[in-house]
Amino acid sequence: MTAWKAFRGGLWDEIPVLRLMLGLCPTMAVTTSVKGGLTMGLSVVFVLICSNVVVSMMRNLLKPHLRIMMFTLTIAAFVTIADMYLKAFQPVMSEKLGAYIPLIIVNCIIICRSEACAAKNGIWVSAVDGLAMGLGFTIVLCFLASIREILSTGCITFSETAVWTVLNPVDKGGWFTPWAAMAMPVGAFITLGLTLGAVNQLTKKKA
């Protein structure tokens, strides 16, 4: 595998949520706001790059029966660091994302990339693969979150002072009645389902 192939794979050919169907639980759970999706995505980027690099460094020493245990140990360490960092410097987002940051440990994307890429390739390719997969995941989270947040609140909120109003909501004197359902699991299923349908349509091979 070349670095370019790994990069292109993460961003389109094997984009985790839409093509590999991996990482669907956090995708459903944290895409109620763009800020939440972005924080989760960047945390996954950090964990993916670090775990891929470490697994790649130890790939020649891995025993088959200890493989999964070593992957889990590596991933858990970096997830804990990401969790502590968020608690220290982004406490509001850390509370908002709740258990989903520690649950990155069991995110299928990360263990899949350790097994499929990092355990078989060099450090450079593994790092690029981690970066691309993480960015692909982040882009999808932000895309889904932006649709859900706009339809459920009428605007995208980055902070108390930075609010981008897209559809002027009724509670701010506008015309748009927010769709509360879009902030709920049903909104996640609908948005993800329609997005998957659109991507499948785009990539459908002609007979």
Partner 1 sequence: MSNSIKLFFRESWLLMVSAVFFGALLAVANAAWAPKIAQNEINKFSNLAKALLPEAMKFEPLQNKDKIIIDLGDGKTAGADVRKGLDAAGNCIGWAFLAEGSGFADKIKLVVTADAGFTKLNGFGVQQCSETPGFGDKITIKNGFYQAQYKQAPAGKFTLTKIGDSKKIDSEIVAITGATVTSQAVVNIMNTYVVQIKQQLQQKKLIGQ
Among 2, 4, 21, 66, binds partner 1 (CB under 8 A): 66
> By CB under 8 A, is residue 91 in contact with partner 1?
yes
Q: How far is the CB of 183 from partner 1 (least distance, A)?
A: 4
> By CB under 8 A, is residue 98 in contact with partner 1?
yes
Using CB under 8 A as the criterion, what x/- string covers residues 26-45 for binding partner 1? ------x-------------
Among 1, 11, 77, 199, binds partner 1 (CB under 8 A): 77
How far is Cα 99 from Cα 67, in angstroms, rounded to an integer?
26
> By CB under 8 A, is residue 190 in contact with partner 1?
no
How far is Cα 202 from Cα 189, in angstroms, rounded to an integer?
20
Q: Which is nearer to partner 1, 65 or 206 (CB)?
A: 65
> By CB under 8 A, is residue 81 in contact with partner 1?
yes
Q: How far is the CB of 2 from partner 1 (least distance, A)?
A: 28
Q: How far is the CB of 184 from partner 1 (least distance, A)?
A: 6
Residues that bind partner 1 (CB under 8 A): 32, 58, 61-63, 65-66, 69-70, 73-74, 76-77, 80-81, 84-85, 87-89, 91, 95-96, 98-99, 152, 180, 183-184
